[in-house]
Structure 1
Amino acid sequence: MTVTTVANPRGDPGYEATLPCVPQSARSARSLVSIVLSVWALDDLADDTTLVMDELVANAARHASGSRLRVSITRPADHLVRVAVTDHCPELPVLMRPDAQDERGRGLVLVTALAAAWGAVPLRRGKRVWAEVGPHP
């Protein structure tokens, strides 16, 4: 699989890649996050940010239609990163409250625990789900 990464030409510093809409793309997305955070000298955010990206890609691969998804990582502030996944499914994610017996529904609970904020933006053809990760207080 070939991944083309493009630097963001305007706005916040950032990178994005278009990936197949399959669970295996989470690995490429995690790799992009790790590399970018290393370049930005934000290695202390790498564990939480890669896990958040992993969950967002997994959700897109599980629920979205279409053959591709787009992942991005930007830096809206010095020690804050925003990861996002854009897919072709118009249905917005819903935070579940799974119990101990539930086998699914924990992804956004994990994102909520690790991210300073997260949300979803409806688009003309799908949605963008994003999360911001910064240092823990």
Structure 2
Amino acid sequence: MIETGAGPMPAYTETLPRVADSAHRARRLVHLALEVWGLAHVQVDAELVVSELLTNAVLHARRGESVRVTVTRLGEGRVQVAVVDLSKDQPVPRDAGGDQESGRGLGIVEALSGGQWGVDPLPWGKRVWATVGAEAGPGE
């Protein structure tokens, strides 16, 4: 459980090596959490978002040998995925040209989260997070 302003929220978290191959393990962590919570309808988006966030940490953090991945259930139908790294450098969205192989990650995160993403500075680095899924309607 993670303590939030709304009280404790169920969460899964894992420390992974800051290497490209960890994206697979991060997706697997998200998959497991969403399967347990019965949130398969957000699985594809959440897995893609955690992949992009982890890949950004691997490519740009340049500090530390590990990252921390967390998936938190925020309520019916919504989850937050986050990656903590040891760099204080803020991620910067870029406009990637059609022939560029990289630079689309934060645009993908923006689109899949409906703009619900951000960066929390930490004393030792930062936490980049995104919320995926729709808010439950009244009575749900």
Structure 2 length as normaliser, TM-score?
0.88
Which one of the candidate residues 35, 60, 63 is aligned to 2:60? 63
TM-superposed deviation, 1:101: 2.6
TM-superposed deviation, 1:135: 3.8
What stretches of structure 1 move > 6 A for 4+ residues in a row? none
Q: How far apart, in 1, do the equivalents of 2:134 and 2:127 lie?
A: 23
Percent same amino acid among aligned pairs?
44
Q: Does 1:103 align with 2:105?
A: no
Please tell me the root mean square deviation across aligned C-alpha atoms, in Å.
Answer: 1.4
Q: How far apart, in 2, do the equivalents of 1:88 and 1:77 lie?
A: 29
Show the counterpart of 1:44: 41
Amino acid in structure 2 at the alignment position of 1:100? G
Show the counterpart of 1:81: 79
TM-superposed deviation, 1:9: 5.6
Q: Does 1:26 align with 2:33?
A: no
Q: Encode CA deviations 1:94-133: one digit per residue, 9 max, x unaligned.
A: 1111221322210001111111310011111110000000
Please state whether the residue corresponding to 2:12 is helix, strand or coil.
strand
Q: How far apart, in 2, do the equivalents of 1:106 and 1:98 lie?
A: 6
Q: How far apart, in 2, do the equivalents of 1:29 and 1:98 lie?
A: 25
Please state whether the residue corresponding to 2:120 is helix, strand or coil.
strand
Q: How far apart, in 2, do the equivalents of 1:33 and 1:114 lie?
A: 15
Amino acid in structure 1 at the alignment position of 2:122? L
Q: How far apart, in 1, do the equivalents of 2:101 and 2:26 lie?
A: 24
Q: How far apart, in 2, do the equivalents of 1:43 and 1:83 lie?
A: 15
Structure 1 unmatched runs, 5+: 1-7
Structure 1 length as normaliser, TM-score?
0.89
TM-superposed deviation, 1:66: 0.5
Q: Encode CA deviations 1:74-101: one digit per residue, 9 max, x unaligned.
A: 0112111000000001001011112213
Structure 2 unmatched runs, 5+: 136-140
